[in-house]
């Protein structure tokens, strides 16, 4: 079945460092891809999405490009802030019509001043 | 517009008790999803509904878990009897045509 694999955390960075969180997927059909963020004690918020190959999703300085040839959707940010500390989930939405989301395991990011 | 509403936000109960979690989806959304989040297993899809009809409950861990959606604006997830290993955060989400929202979650602790 469809699945998402993302790099294990925690990822620890200093403020203003470059961030990459790797995500690869396995899916039949043409899924949409998402990154969600979960801040401590809160629910999930959509960070960005891409619905077809070569689309780039971006928001709040984060970006990710839908790469069909490598089945990847890596999350990047050029300069992280302490406020970016959270758990990041990569997810895909199957093309089966019900828009169910399948999540990766999540990657915890800790940014230190 | 109100987002997905879940209640209670926190629930502490004793092993063997019945627990009912509630969800009100975003008005107009036609799909509803229940997820469970634990440290060990991450986010698991338990069950989802479309137009109030259960589509796939293969993620429900055991017969102790049941979910209903009696109408378009309400769903429940029930655990009976509850066990300590059911302790987790349970999220409800709803969607329409690819637009989705997540509730704030219910943190369940079973002692």
CB contact under 8 A, B55 and A103: no
Give the B-side interface with A, CB within 8 Å.
31, 33, 35, 42-43, 45, 48, 50, 55-56, 91, 93, 95, 97-98, 100, 102-105
| Mean pLDDT of the residues in chain A | 93
Residue A8: predicted pLDDT: 85
Residue A69: predicted pLDDT: 94
- Identify any residues that bridge with B7 across adjacent strands, giving them in sequence order: B22
CA–CA min distance A103, chain B (Å): 6
Residue A94: predicted pLDDT: 75
Residue A109 C-beta-side C-alpha neighbours within 13 Å: 29
Residue A79: predicted pLDDT: 96
Residue B42: predicted pLDDT: 87
Residue A96: predicted pLDDT: 67
Positions of chain B with pLDDT under 50? none
Residue A97: predicted pLDDT: 66
Round to whole Å and give the CA distance between B81 and B64.
6
- pLDDT of A9 > 90? The answer is no
Residue B1: predicted pLDDT: 61
Residue A104: predicted pLDDT: 93
CB contact under 8 A, B43 and A45: no
CB contact under 8 A, B98 and A44: no
Residue B2: predicted pLDDT: 78
Residue A1: predicted pLDDT: 82
- CB nearest B91 (choices: A44, A93, A104): A44
Is A32 in CB contact (< 8 Å) with chain B?
Answer: yes
Round to whole Å and give the CA distance between A84 and B88.
24
For residues A79-92, give the mean pLDDT.
Answer: 96
- pLDDT of A36 > 90? The answer is yes
Residue A41: predicted pLDDT: 81
With a CB cutoff of 8 Å and minimum separation 6, the contacts of B1 are: B26, B27
Q: Between A and B, how many residue pairs show a Cβ–Cβ distance under 8 A?
A: 41
């Amino acid at each position: 079945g469809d699945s998402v694999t993302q790099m294990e955390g925690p990822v620890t960075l200093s403020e203003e460092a470059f961030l990459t969180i790797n995500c690869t997927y396995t899916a039949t059909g043409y899924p949409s891809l998402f990154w969600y963020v979960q801040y401590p004690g809160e629910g999930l918020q959509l960070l960005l999405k891409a619905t077809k190959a070569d689309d780039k999703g971006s928001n709040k300085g984060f970006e990710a490009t839908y790469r069909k040839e490598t089945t990847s959707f890596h999350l990047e940010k050029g300069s992280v802030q302490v406020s970016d500390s959270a758990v990041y989930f990569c997810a895909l939405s199957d093309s089966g019509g019900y828009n169910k989301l399948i999540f990766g395991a999540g990657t915890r990011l800790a940014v230190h001043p | 517009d109100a987002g997905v509403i879940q209640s209670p936000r926190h629930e502490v109960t004793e092993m063997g008790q019945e627990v009912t979690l509630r969800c009100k989806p975003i008005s107009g959304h036609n799909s509803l999803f229940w997820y469970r989040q634990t440290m060990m297993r991450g986010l698991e899809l338990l069950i989802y509904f479309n137009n109030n009809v259960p589509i796939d409950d293969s993620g429900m861990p055991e017969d102790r878990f049941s979910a209903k959606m009696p109408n378009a604006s309400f769903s429940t997830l029930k655990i009976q009897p509850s066990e300590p290993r059911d302790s987790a955060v349970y999220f409800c989400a709803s969607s329409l045509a690819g637009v989705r929202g997540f509730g704030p979650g219910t943190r369940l602790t079973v002692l």
